[in-house]
């Protein structure tokens, strides 16, 4: 959807049509952050995540509408119901984005003409009946469809075939690619990767892996060459094969140290739960809910399945560093692990003559802690963060603050 929150407000109040409009929580004008700005507002340099007071300096005649999540959810449900009337193969991307597999609807002598007709039908239905403008990307996989949807806004329809990748996608800045966040971008720039084409044709794969990690390097290079997942996950937000934990802060939290310490505790809890059930996780997810009612959900696959809390935390911290906006207060933070597989690795009995590797030492300590907690209560020993003498504020809200040990 194009400028989704603003589009919903204009649909509710047509008098806003053609005027520069932003959606921002109006509880505190001084601290409000813009959630969405329409294209009329963007002409003045106004954009999402900008402070409202800065936007008003750029555009004094700006129309500011308070956010109304109930309205946005209602419109989201309406257009998703329409998508399901077209095909059951719908994967939600967020409140205003979805992937549809329409392969079986567009077969015939001229596939591309058929898919363009279907895209036009969808776009016109949403515009006429729901008053929601959208841009549609068409491609042989989800990644290319996503890239195509961003190429022409508003009200664009773009086909991106694999053979067109060198011409249409490679000249684009590498930061235009999903998966290249604020932490990954400078690492790519360090090795002279400035465009998607630079990434697709980068010769030193080992160097790329050293910079951004093996799994991330392989995924980024595959996407830069036009490859991607074709499978629609219709249960993306209802999959039960995952374990999660979250924390709601009493007040808006801005401190990266406190937020990351909270992440450690949350991930320790999740790691303990999957290890107890003898599972390994192949994927981690970070969820953020900001004080301005916007949210962020990002996932990352692991190089190998694990139940080690430090490896899981490292992965979720990378997501945090890449995508979290630290200028906006955070009300809720959550972690989840998915792609769970049974741990079939048999543990051999160690003797006093065995030399332990660092990983084996960690596993031994973890098993000892788990055994103590199972026998004496789940809060007997909690892997957490080191407390200083001057730090008295608890990271998590407990009826009884747990004892925190430094390993």
Residue 51 binned pLDDT confidence (cut-offs 50, 70, 90): confident
Q: Check residues 160 and 241 and name the one with the higher pLDDT.
A: 160
CATH 3.40.1170.60 in the chain: give the residue spans.
4-67
Q: Return the pLDDT at 238.
A: 53
Architecture of domain 165-224: Orthogonal Bundle (1.10)
Is residue 113 a contact partner of residue 197, using CB atoms and an 8 Å limit? no
Q: Concatenated DSSP letters for 189-220?
A: HHTT--BHHHHHT---HHHHHHHH-HHHHHHH
Q: Give per-residue burial for 225-247: e unless 16+ CB within 10 Å, then b.
A: bbbbeeebebeeeeeeebbebeb
Hunting for tokens 């730090």 — which residue is that?
A: 391
Architecture of domain 243-405: 2-Layer Sandwich (3.30)
Question: What's the pLDDT at 348?
Answer: 39
CATH 1.10.150.20 segments of the chain: 165-224
Q: State mean pLDDT over 173-183.
A: 90
207-236: average pLDDT: 88
> Does the annotation mark 97 as catalytic?
yes
Calculate the alpha carbon distances from 24 to 6, 31, 224, 309 in Å: 10, 10, 35, 37
Structure letter (DSSP) for residue 389: T
Start-end ranges of CATH 3.30.1490.100 in the chain? 243-405
Marked catalytic residue, from 9, 15, 97, 278: 97
User: In this model, does residue 354 exceed pLDDT 60?
Assistant: no
Quick one: the chain helix, strand, coil %, rounded to 5?
A: 40, 20, 40
Task: Tell me which of 362 and 28 has the higher pLDDT.
Answer: 362
Average pLDDT (159-182) is 94
CB 49 within 8 A of CB 325: yes
Strand intervals (E) in 73-135: 90-94, 97-100
For residues 241 and 307, which has the higher predicted lDDT (pLDDT)? 307
Q: How confident is the model at residue 375 (pLDDT cuts 50, 70, 90)?
A: low
Q: What is the pLDDT of residue 16?
A: 97
In this prediction, residue 404 has a pLDDT band, given cuts at 50, 70 and 90, of very low
| Alpha helices in 44-110, H assignment, sequence order | 52-58, 69-86
Q: Could you tell me the fold of the domain covering 4-67?
A: MutS, DNA mismatch repair protein, domain I (3.40.1170)
- Full-model pTM: 0.66
The helix/strand/coil state of 225 is coil
Q: Specify the pairing of strand 21-23 against strand 36-37.
A: antiparallel
């Amino acid at each position: 959807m194009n400028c989704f929150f603003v589009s919903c407000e204009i649909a509710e109040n047509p008098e806003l049509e053609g005027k520069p409009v932003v959606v921002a929580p109006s509880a505190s004008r001084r601290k409000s952050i813009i959630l969405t700005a329409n294209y009329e507002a963007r002409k003045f340099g106004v954009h999402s995540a900008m402070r409202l007071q800065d936007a008003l300096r750029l555009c004094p005649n700006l129309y500011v509408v308070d956010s109304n999540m109930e309205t946005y959810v209602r419109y989201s449900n309406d257009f998703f119901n329409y998508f399901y009337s077209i095909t059951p193969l719908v994967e939600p991307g967020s409140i205003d984005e979805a992937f549809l597999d329409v392969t079986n609807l567009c077969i015939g002598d001229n596939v591309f003409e058929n898919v363009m007709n279907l895209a036009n039908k969808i776009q016109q239905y949403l515009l006429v009946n729901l008053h929601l403008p959208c841009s549609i990307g068409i491609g042989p996989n989800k990644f290319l469809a996503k890239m195509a949807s961003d190429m022409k806004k508003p009200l664009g329809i773009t086909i991106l075939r694999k053979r067109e990748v060198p011409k249409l996608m490679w000249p684009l800045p590498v930061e235009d690619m999903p998966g290249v966040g604020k932490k990954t971008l400078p690492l790519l720039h360090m090795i002279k990767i400035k465009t998607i084409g630079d990434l697709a044709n980068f010769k030193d794969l080992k160097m790329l892996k050293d910079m951004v990690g093996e799994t991330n390097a392989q995924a980024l290079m595959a996407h830069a060459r036009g490859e991607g997942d074709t499978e629609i996950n219709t249960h993306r937000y209802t999959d039960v094969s995952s374990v999660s934990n979250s924390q709601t802060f009493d007040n808006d939290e801005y401190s990266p140290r406190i937020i990351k310490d909270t992440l450690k505790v949350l991930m320790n809890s999740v790691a303990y739960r999957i290890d107890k059930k003898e599972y390994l996780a192949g994927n981690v997810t970070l969820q953020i809910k900001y004080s301005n009612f916007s949210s962020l959900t990002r996932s990352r696959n692991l190089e190998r399945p694990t139940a080690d809390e430090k490896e899981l935390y490292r992965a979720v911290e990378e997501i945090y560093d890449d995508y979290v906006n630290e200028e906006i207060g955070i009300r809720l933070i959550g972690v989840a692990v998915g792609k769970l597989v049974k741990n079939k690795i048999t543990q051999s009995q160690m003797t006093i003559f065995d030399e332990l590797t660092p990983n084996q030492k960690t596993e031994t300590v973890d098993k000892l802690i788990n055994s103590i907690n199972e026998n004496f209560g789940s809060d007997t020993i909690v892997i957490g963060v080191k407390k200083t003498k001057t730090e008295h504020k608890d990271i998590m809200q407990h009826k009884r603050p747990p004892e925190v040990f430094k390993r």
